[in-house]
C-alpha cells in the first residue's frame, strides 16, 4: 500500500467536496456539504487549501485534512478517511505527516475539536500528544416562547467580534473566536442588550443557531446572558434554538436557566504545543 500526500489546492473545488464527503461517510455526525457550504467554511474558518492535504493510497484520493491557519496556530478543521481505508494505519500515518509539516512551518501549536463519543479519533490525537483544554457541549430548546421585553439593539457583526476579543474567555474554541465571528455576514445577525451580546443564524428560518453569546467581564454573575437569551427568544417566538457543541461546558448554567436541554453530543477541545527540537511518538 503506497501512501502519499498532495496539496488540496491541486484539486478542483467540486472534487474536494466529493473527497471530503466520502471521508465522512458513516461518521457519528453525518457530514454532506455542497459547494456553497464548503466555500463558506473555507472563508469563515480561515482554511488554507495550499496547506490542507489529500491522502493518496496507491495514487487514489482516500482522505482529506483541512488545515486552518492564523498566526502561529494551525487548526485541524476536518480529517476524514474513506471507509475502506479505515483501521489500516492510514490515519496514524496521515496525522504524523500533518504534525511534521506544522513544525516545519514553525507553528507554535496545532488545535482541533473532536467528538467525545468518537473514541478512535480521541485515542489517535492523544497518541500524538494532544492535550485536552475543555469539554464543549450542545443544547437545544424547541418551539421556544418567552414573555419578556425583547429590547434588542442590532449591531455590526464586526463590532461584536471586537467585544469578543476584549471580553471572551481565554483559549476560546476556533469557531467562537473573534477572528471567526468577524468573518460572518448577514443573514447572520448580531444583537446587544446592556452588557450582553448574541450572534444568531438567519432568524427567518425556524431553526436558529446561536453562534456566539458573550457577557462583558465585569457584568458576569448578574444574569445578563440569561436575560439576553430570553429577549432573543421573545423577539423570535416559536423557533427551535440550537447551541452547537462548540461552547465551553462552563457556560452550561446560562443555557440551562433558560430551559435549554443538553444534547448527547459533546466535543473535546484539544491542543498540541510545539517545542523546538521536539519529536513525536513512534
Cβ–Cβ < 8 Å for 213, 254:
yes
Which helix (H) or strand (E) segment holds residue 267: the answer is strand 261-273
Q: pTM of the predicted model, to two decimals?
A: 0.94
Whether residues 158 and 256 fall in one domain? yes
Would you state the pLDDT for residue 275? 80
- Please name which of 43, 37, 35, 45 lies closest in space to residue 12, comparing C-alpha atoms: 35
Cβ–Cβ < 8 Å for 111, 134:
no
Local mean pLDDT, 10-residue blocks, the chain (282 residues): 97 98 91 96 97 97 98 97 94 97 97 96 97 98 92 97 95 97 97 98 98 97 96 97 98 97 98 72 45
Whether residues 201 and 142 fall in one domain? yes
Whether residues 51 and 156 fall in one domain? no
250 occurs within a structural domain: yes
pLDDT tens digits along 212-246 = 999 999 999 999 999 999 999 999 999 999 999 99
Would you state the pLDDT for residue 276? 60
Angle between helix 35-45 and helix 13-23 axes, rounded to 10 deg: 90
How many independent structural domains does the chain possess? 2
Whether residues 95 and 147 fall in one domain? no
Whether residues 31 and 147 fall in one domain? no
275 occurs within a structural domain: no
For residue 23, the enclosing domain spans 3-107
Whether residues 85 and 181 fall in one domain? no
Whether residues 263 and 145 fall in one domain? yes
Which of the listed residues 51, 86, 107 is the one where a domain comes to its end? Answer: 107
Would you state the pLDDT for residue 224? 97
Report how far residue 53's alpha carbon sits from residue 57's, in angstroms, rounded to the nearest whole number.
13
Q: Annotate 217-252 with b (16+ C-beta within 10 A) or e (fewer).
A: eeeeeeebbbbbbbbbbbbbeebebbbbbbbbeebb
pLDDT tens digits along 78-112 = 999 999 999 999 999 999 999 999 999 999 999 99
Whether residues 153 and 261 fall in one domain? yes
Whether residues 92 and 145 fall in one domain? no
Whether residues 90 and 206 fall in one domain? no
Any idea what the CATH number is for the domain that residue 33 is in? 3.40.630.30
User: Cβ contacts of residue 177 below 8 Å, gap of 6+?
Assistant: 164, 168
261-273 and 109-115: which strand pairing? antiparallel
Amino acid at each position: 500500500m503506497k501512501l502519499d500526500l498532495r496539496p488540496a489546492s491541486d484539486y478542483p473545488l467540486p472534487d474536494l467536496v466529493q473527497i471530503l464527503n466520502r471521508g465522512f461517510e458513516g461518521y457519528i455526525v453525518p457530514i454532506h456539504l455542497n459547494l456553497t457550504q464548503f466555500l463558506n467554511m473555507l472563508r469563515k474558518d480561515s482554511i488554507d487549501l495550499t496547506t490542507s492535504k489529500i491522502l493518496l493510497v496507491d495514487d487514489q484520493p482516500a482522505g482529506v485534512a483541512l488545515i486552518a491557519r492564523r498566526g502561529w496556530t494551525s487548526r485541524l478543521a476536518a480529517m476524514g478517511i474513506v471507509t475502506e481505508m479505515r483501521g489500516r494505519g492510514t490515519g496514524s500515518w496521515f496525522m504524523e505527516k500533518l504534525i511534521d509539516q506544522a513544525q516545519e512551518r514553525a507553528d507554535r501549536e496545532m488545535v482541533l475539536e473532536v467528538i467525545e463519543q468518537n473514541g478512535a479519533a480521541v485515542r489517535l490525537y492523544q497518541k500524538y500528544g494532544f492535550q485536552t483544554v475543555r469539554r464543549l457541549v450542545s443544547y437545544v430548546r424547541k418551539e421556544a416562547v418567552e414573555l419578556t421585553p425583547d429590547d434588542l439593539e442590532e449591531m455590526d457583526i464586526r463590532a461584536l467580534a471586537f467585544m469578543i476579543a476584549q471580553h471572551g474567555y481565554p483559549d476560546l474554541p476556533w469557531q467562537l473566536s473573534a477572528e471567526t465571528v468577524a468573518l460572518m455576514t448577514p443573514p447572520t445577525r448580531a444583537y446587544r442588550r446592556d452588557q450582553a451580546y448574541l450572534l444568531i443564524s438567519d432568524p427567518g428560518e425556524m431553526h436558529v443557531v446561536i453562534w456566539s453569546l458573550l457577557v462583558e467581564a465585569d457584568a458576569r454573575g448578574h444574569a445578563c446572558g440569561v436575560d439576553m437569551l430570553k429577549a432573543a427568544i421573545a423577539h423570535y417566538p416559536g423557533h427551535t434554538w440550537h447551541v452547537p457543541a462548540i461552547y465551553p461546558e462552563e457556560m452550561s448554567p446560562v443555557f440551562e436557566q433558560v430551559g435549554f436541554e443538553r444534547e448527547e453530543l459533546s466535543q473535546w477541545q484539544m491542543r498540541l504545543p510545539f517545542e523546538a527540537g521536539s519529536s513525536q511518538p513512534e
